[in-house]
Chains A and B, each alone.
Chain A
Amino acid sequence: MSFLYETLLAPFADFEFMRRALAACVALAVGAGPVGVFLVLRRMSLMGDAIGHAVLPGVAVGFMVSGLSLGAMTLGGVAAGLIVALLAGVTARATGMKEDASLAGFYLTSLAIGVLLVSARGSSIDLLNILFGSILAVDDQGLFLVAGVATVSTLTMSFIFRSLVVECFDPVFARSVGAGGAWVHAIFLALVVLNLVSAFQALGTLMAVGLMMLPALAARFWSEDISQIVFISTGFAIMSSVMGLLLSFHVEWASGPSIVLVASMFYGASIIFGSRSGLLARWMRRPHFHEPEDASR
């Protein structure tokens, strides 16, 4: 019993930085979980990664203007992310180019500018901090930022949920009934950017992509219902955060990658054991249906 306490609870009970880290991670998980699900459903799984790289020059400019100020770097990151997403979207619509191709063009440019800025002014340590963060050093400001973004993100998602589903599922139908459209897409992209930037102090934007996408990918193996998938994904993300933090505390691994690797384990386990389309479920066929009524189960 005391072993369990020492392993699972004591780190949080005894150390304030662990409690802060936990709060930040849970907030990130709640914000990013649903967003990740829709990135997967839109077949834009790699978009989070691209945006994660695209924010770099903005963060760098924020850093150059006012040093290690969370506010300035966040603002810069959000601006850079939104500009890249917007340019990519507008270019795709105006030229008929595929959106992922157009995004690749812009985010690579943005990344190069970012690396140039960082290497011109700072040391490589700064770059590592920006890309990978350090959750064990989250301050009050960072905590409020993460919690604020999670709140805004969750509320916004609940408002655009139905529009987003219909827009992803059947864009032609959505247009024909006047649902969704460019503004839903734009708001959604803004949420992707916000969630990734808010994570940069805690996990770093790149690791935040892992917390956003891996639980969403894992959740897809467990359900055929979109609302359930959103909840499963958020649950996986929260569990990954808690377990990852404990792992990082006990084994003394870096916290960001520890959290993401736990999420990877959920992903791996889901590939094998997922009840909807996991490998085992496919191999061990259940008896097939005989009456049409069964199919509705």
Chain B
Amino acid sequence: MKCTADIRLTDVIVTYRRVPAVHHVTGKFQAGTLTALAGPNGAGKSTLLKALMGLVPVSDGTIDRGGLSARAFAYLPQLPEIDRSFPLSVEQTVLFGAWPRTGALSKLSSAERSRAKDAIASVGLTGYAGAAIASLSIGQWHRVMFARLIMQDAAVILLDEPFAAVDERTTDDLMALVKVWHAEGRTVIAVLHDLNFIRRHFPETLLIAREVVAWGATAAALEASRLDQARTMTDRWARNSDQGSHGHQHNHDHSHPH
């Protein structure tokens, strides 16, 4: 499903217990772009994805999804949040990706089943459709999650550290799928840590340290000076929140409670 809508953020602030995790973020993810979301730990990358998904409330500012609902976005959270001992097969798990079309009640059509079969094949798990998810390796499990994303057929796909703890072969296979999505005109945003990997595969980068440090073409966004800046900004936030309050290093033209 080709994405035709830009996602515009205007002065977005997300706070946890009044401490901002994402601070005054303004900019846009252009329709159909492939963007890496980079930054130090605690820089608000995951929080920003959750805000885009509408999973955490935005305390200030606006997110304009270009007429799309957050439900039309597909999202792959960091992995430990799922109970893998659950008694489901690979096929059943992948079929949940059809939810936007089937909902809670309607019968799973044979068309959906064959789509699931194709999705399972395209992540390289042919033959595993009936396998229990508890029996899979981490790499295979990542593949299942990607197959479910394929089933969702979403215009916008958000990935939170999709290649963490995955071997090179699996990473290559899954990155190839991401590139297919990009080629199909979907908007893809992925949280990633490996800067060389980002430089190799991602045309756009948003470097964030609660605030936007750089947003644009990857080579420029990941310059050494920008990375230093991101690191010092995060340290500063950490120090300030250790002291129980944080000083603003910039002037607000409006006020909001922290």
Q: Which residues of A contact B (CB under 8 A)?
A: 41, 159-160, 162-163, 165-166, 168-173, 175-179, 220, 223-226, 229, 292-293, 295-297
5 residue pairs, one from A and one from B, having the closest CB atoms: A224-B132, A293-B127, A177-B99, A296-B130, A163-B104
Report if B168 contacts A (CB, 8 A): no
Task: Tell me whether A160 and B88 are in contact (CB under 8 A).
Answer: no
Q: Which residues of B contact A296 (CB under 8 A)?
A: 127-131
Task: Tell me whether A41 and B96 are in contact (CB under 8 A).
Answer: no
CB proximity of B56 to chain A, nearest CB, Å: 11
Q: Which residues of B contact A295 (CB under 8 A)?
A: 127-128, 131, 135
Additional A-B contact list (10), CB under 8 Å, known A176-B71, A296-B128:
A162-B104, A172-B82, A176-B73, A224-B87, A225-B89, A226-B86, A226-B87, A293-B127, A296-B127, A296-B131
Assuming the A-B contacts A172-B81, A178-B71, A296-B131, are A229 and B87 also in contact, with contact meaning beta carbons closer than 8 angstroms in the complex?
yes
B55 interface neighbour in A163, A176, A229, Cβ under 8 Å: A176
Interface residues of chain A: helix, strand, loop or mixed (majority): helix
Task: Tell me whether B127 and A176 are in contact (CB under 8 A).
Answer: no
A176 interface neighbour in B75, B86, B93, B103, Cβ under 8 Å: B75
A172 interface neighbour in B55, B70, B87, B135, Cβ under 8 Å: B55
Assuming the A-B contacts A162-B104, A169-B86, A226-B87, are A292 and B128 also in contact, with contact meaning beta carbons closer than 8 angstroms in the complex?
yes
Q: Which residues of A contact B20 (CB under 8 A)?
A: none
CB proximity of A296 to chain B, nearest CB, Å: 4
Bound: A176/B100 CA distance, A:
10
Interface residues of chain B: helix, strand, loop or mixed (majority): mixed
Task: Tell me whether A166 and B87 are in contact (CB under 8 A).
Answer: no
**Which residues from 101 to 154 on chain B have a C-beta closer than 8 Å to any C-beta of chain A?**
103-105, 127-132, 134-135, 148, 152
Bound: A223/B86 CA distance, A:
11
Q: Which residues of A contact B83 (CB under 8 A)?
A: 168-170
**Which residues from 14 to 69 on chain B have a C-beta closer than 8 Å to any C-beta of chain A?**
53, 55
> Taking CB as reference atom, which chain B residue is nearest A230?
B87
Report if B214 contacts A (CB, 8 A): no
Bound: A168/B93 CA distance, A:
13
Task: Tell me whether A170 and B87 are in contact (CB under 8 A).
Answer: no
Q: Which residues of A contact B92 (CB under 8 A)?
A: 226
29 A-B pairs in the complex with CB atoms less than 8 angstroms apart = A41-B86, A41-B87, A166-B99, A168-B83, A169-B86, A169-B88, A169-B96, A172-B55, A173-B77, A173-B82, A173-B148, A176-B53, A176-B73, A176-B74, A177-B99, A178-B71, A179-B99, A179-B103, A223-B87, A224-B87, A224-B89, A225-B88, A225-B132, A226-B87, A226-B88, A229-B87, A292-B127, A295-B131, A296-B128
Q: Which residues of B contact A172 (CB under 8 A)?
A: 55, 75, 77, 81-82
Bound: A177/B97 CA distance, A:
9
